[in-house]
Amino acid sequence: MSTPPLFFVDHLPAGPQLRLDGDEGRHAARVKRLLVGEAVLISDGLGAVADCVVAAVRPDGLELAVRDRRQVEPPDPWVVVVQALPKGERAELAVELLTELGVDEIVPWASSRSVVHWRGGRGDTALLRGRRTAREAAKQSRRPRVPVVTDAASTADVLARLASACGLLLHESAALPLASADLPASGQIVLVVGPEGGITDDEITGMTSAGAEAVRLGDPVLRTSTAGAAALAAVSVRLGRWG
């Protein structure tokens, strides 16, 4: 039995009926072509979920009967990926993959060797695009909690984050396999993914001094846009998220 399609609303109102309108409603009615009696999930993107059945189909949306409500609590440990900014469409690919694989938070990192830097209007546009990508990927993967995509972070911001978390720095020359790294039962796990040009020695020194441990995935050297997804998948198995 397939999982019902998921649609997001800005606010999930109380009551036995819901109306899904706007872009989501039109998509449900005109593109998905949902029919009366079909099940759908409605979420605010923050974990509140309404299990619904289509009661009526309108040209611009759906009338829904609410069958049940629930709240999906934030996961613990909370998994963060600090992602050095990739160039072009690979930035959106990284966000999409990380979201579909279950990341809780994405921190775009302006590392020393990042080719791209999110500044000014172009940075605002890139950030909005990243957040929109995360929302669409969460919808595709039926995740009622859309991962947080923070503002672009400096190296100093990342060091501050690592000081209070279990930090794992992906590095191809690290001796410790990610599969053997100690993971906490609670708190935050921060995976740091460097740029295509690699993390500088100063960045490595700063992060390990802040408590991060350098780890490697395996022999293949992955692109920055896929390395985070591979590491996240490995961590998710170890945390029991993928049972």
Same domain, 126 and 223: yes
Note down the domain range covering 34.
Answer: 6-71
Please state the three-class secondary structure of 69-97 as a single string: EEECCCCCCEEEEEEECCCCCHHHHHHHH
Q: Where are the alpha helices (DSSP H) in 169-243?
A: 201-209, 224-239
**Residues 109 and 83: beta-carbon distance below 8 Å:** yes
- How distant is the alpha carbon of residue 221 from its chain centre? 23
Over residues 226-239, the pLDDT tens digits come to 999 999 999 999 99
Does 7 have pLDDT greater than 80? Answer: yes
CB-based contacts of 17, cutoff 8 Å, min separation 6: 55, 63, 64, 65, 66
Question: What is the pLDDT, as a whole number, of residue 114?
Answer: 75
- Residue 114 and residue 220 in one domain: yes
Q: Please report whether residue 172 resides in a domain.
A: yes
Cβ-count burial of 37 within 10 angstroms (0-12 exposed, 13-18 middle, 19+ buried)? exposed
Q: Note whether 65 and 85 are same-domain residues.
A: no
Is the CB of residue 175 less than 8 Å from the CB of residue 137? no
pLDDT digits (tens, 9 = 90+) for 92-118: 999 999 999 999 999 999 888 776 666
pTM exceeds cut of 0.85: yes
- Mean pLDDT (the chain) is 93
| pLDDT tens track for 186-200 | 999 999 999 988 899
Residue 145 and residue 217 share a domain: yes
Question: Is 25 a domain residue?
Answer: yes
Query: Is residue 104 located within the same domain as residue 171?
Result: yes
User: Do 21 and 97 fall within a single domain?
Assistant: no
Whether 215 and 107 map to the same domain: the answer is yes
> pLDDT of 129-182, one tens digit each?
999 999 999 999 999 999 999 999 999 999 999 999 999 999 988 999 999 999
Residue 1 lies in a domain: no
Q: Write the CATH number for 225.
A: 3.40.1280.10
Domain co-membership, 150 together with 173:
yes
Query: What is the number of domains present in the chain?
Result: 2
End-to-end CA distance of the chain: 18
Token representation of residue 174: 């690290």
Side chain identity at residue 23, one-letter code = D
Domain end point (choices 26, 50, 71): 71
